[in-house]
Amino acid sequence: MTAPERAPLGAALALLLTVTSLAGPHAPGLIAVAVGAMAIMVAAGWTELLELPDALGSRVVIAATGVVGAALTLLGTDRPSPLQGVAVVAAVGLLAAFVQQMLRRERRALTLSLTGTVSGSLLVALSCCWTLASSESAGAPAAGLVTAAGAGLAVALLIEETPLPGLLRLPLSMLASAAVTGVVAAELGASVLPVGAALGLLVAFGAGGVHQLLGSILVAREPTASLAVAAAPVATTGVVVLMAVRILG
């Protein structure tokens, strides 16, 4: 999977979150399913991207953290502090990573394997913030922030894969994301145009940084590794969207 092929994949994930956020009361459940699928993508590509020695074990830990986390955050949104679910999932993923290393027969590259698995687990745990953002804004005008952020993210990721110079791609993607996010948020009544534009800037900056960091790794263009490069920026952006919903909602 080359870079041009990878770009629509990341943008498609963001567009999927955008569309599912418009499903009304069913939006949180659909987004939880999308987040679970995203976690499986990250798990499949993360071990290849970082060249971890125990690929199967790391994939199981990362995928389980994301899938279980998406389910728990969806079911636990009626608690006083639903964000605790993300913290619990991240902690359990950390413990599972240590257990995985203890059970390995081959002791080669223990530090690499542990840190790589932990970072992947934390990444998919953060993706659960998309579910929380959708659940906490369901039925309220703030739900439009999730839709707007997803649309802006899709545009930003498409621009990130254009053949433009690196120093130009990020500012251009931020401007495009700000425009799209601001207009969509204003049209849906979620926020005024300047506030939505600011959200778009944050979304594009965070996603662009993750994309450029992971995309610079030598094996990033390999087919399996490209899955993680495409999904990771979308996963991490959920934190920004949740913050926006809580502050502006």
* pLDDT value, residue 79: 58
pLDDT band per the 50, 70, 90 thresholds, residue 105: confident
214 and 104 Cβ atoms separated by less than 8 Å: no
* pLDDT value, residue 8: 77
Residue 3 has pLDDT above 80, yes or no: no
* pLDDT value, residue 172: 92
Over residues 186-202, the mean pLDDT reads: 91
Distance CA 178, CA 181 (A): 5
pLDDT band per the 50, 70, 90 thresholds, residue 1: very low
199 and 185 Cβ atoms separated by less than 8 Å: yes
Chain segment 33-82, per-residue pLDDT in tens: 999 999 999 999 999 999 998 889 999 999 999 999 888 888 865 555 66
Rounded to two decimals, the pTM is 0.89
Residue 84 has pLDDT above 80, yes or no: no
Distance CA 134, CA 224 (A): 29
Over residues 7-18, the mean pLDDT reads: 88
* pLDDT value, residue 6: 53
Over residues 165-193, the mean pLDDT reads: 89
* pLDDT value, residue 217: 85
* Ranges 118-122, 215-219, 225-229: which has the least confidence: 215-219
Tell me the domain boundaries of the chain: 3-248
CA distances from 181 to 44, 127, 173 (A): 30, 20, 12
155 and 177 Cβ atoms separated by less than 8 Å: yes
* pLDDT value, residue 116: 92
Helix, strand counts (H, E) of the chain: 10, 0
Residue 205 has pLDDT above 80, yes or no: yes
45 and 64 Cβ atoms separated by less than 8 Å: no
Residue 241 has pLDDT above 80, yes or no: yes
What token pair was written down for 96?
């599972």
